[in-house]
Amino acid sequence: MERSGFKFQLDQIAPRFDINADEIQVLEGPEGFYETLRSKIRNAKTRIYLSTLYIGKTEHELFATIHDALSRSPQLKVSILTDALRGTREDPQPSCASLLASLVVDFPARVEIRMYHTPNLTGLRKRFIPKRINEGWGLQHIKLYGIDDEVILSGANLSSDYFTNRQDRYHVFSSSRITDYFARVHHAVCSISFLLDISDSKDTVSYSLIWPSSNLAPSPLYNPKRYISAATSLLLPLFSPSAFPTPALSNSENNNTSTTTLYPLLSHPPTLNTELPALKTLLSSPFLHSYTFTAGYFNPHHLITSSLLAASSNSKTRGTVLTASPAANGFFKSPGISGLLPPAYSHLSLRFLQRVRLANASIKLREWQRGTVGEKDGWTYHAKGIWTYFLSKSQDGREDRI
């Protein structure tokens, strides 16, 4: 397929950013991710914004790195966004929230901690559903790690496993346009999230989550419907295809085959989802040669499953699905009901393979494993994504690979 035609379809779904390939660095593993993150934080001069599900309650080294950067650079400002349910799960014991609270105490004018709360968990449901299980009603799951004019896009949270033995994916973008764009996304979500407020006494530091009057939506706990409406109105322009016109490339950039196009996608149930139509566009192309779809926890949306099967229902398109083996699942031998999740995911994989057989689709399912979780040198698998490979004929009759 022609590149212009392919891009045109995605241009109707999401904003587009054209950058050069040398502005992107792909990191291979958790240790490289951690060292790169700490190095960039250590040298930060103006801004740090971190969007994550949570920061591990014992990540004192990372905390110290942020603290030292603030001490060295008086112009530096830090904004951290986590999920409210996950960030306070261990309360009143040490938690993500209690760790970050002391950062606000030391730099009250330059550090802001925000915690997103789902509008799906309110009233009696919030009161009686136990912690950990309640996270199934919705979470803040964005992973953006912006430092000055660079941003790391990942699926990794900020805790020990993700720095040592949990495989994920990590892309470093050295582009002020990309970093500024995701900063707008980060701060938009912050503006509809709770603020961590500090009560500092002589002996202890305590905190509470408050809803500032300046927030751009009512509290999700008291008016969830209006919250969803306001959040949709706020986020929709950021992911509109026409919101960020792509500057015209120079002649040298137009002739540079390594130019890379980035389309930011959003999944904000129940009102916004540009991820599904983008995936459908990729998988429905008549020029699709092969794809690899991966998810650490294999429980894809039914529309994704249908698109994977439809794409490989002929012999021309080969599909590979890669997921964690039970021994590489983060819940392997976990105490309580969560320990049942690895066999549940295996059951879902079996059901998917049954559908593959019925559809006569050319799909192989593979399981990722490196040792066994909980044992020496055992890793878990947390990566998510899709890699697509296209073939078409160019005007001179040669195969064009995309």
Catalytic residues: 141, 143, 148
User: Are β-strands 384-393 and 399-401 bridged in parallel, bridged antiparallel, or unpaired?
Assistant: antiparallel
Q: What is the DSSP string of 152-218?
A: EEES--BSHHHHHTEE--EEEE--HHHHHHHHHHHHHHHTTSEEEEEEE-SS-EEEEEE--TTSSS-
Cβ neighbour number for residue 59 with a 10 Å cutoff: 20
Q: Is 312 helix (H, G, I), strand (E, B) or coil?
A: coil
In this structure, is the dihedral angle defined by the CA atoms of residues 141, 143, 147 and 150, taken in order, positive or negative?
negative
Q: Is 348 left (phi over 0), alpha (psi -120 to 50) or beta?
A: alpha
Q: Give every CB contact of residue 386 below 8 A, 6+ residues apart in sequence.
A: 279, 282, 291, 292, 293, 294
Count H helices, E strands: the chain? 13, 20
Cβ neighbour number for residue 387 with a 10 Å cutoff: 12
Helices (H), 248-340: 251-254, 275-283, 302-311
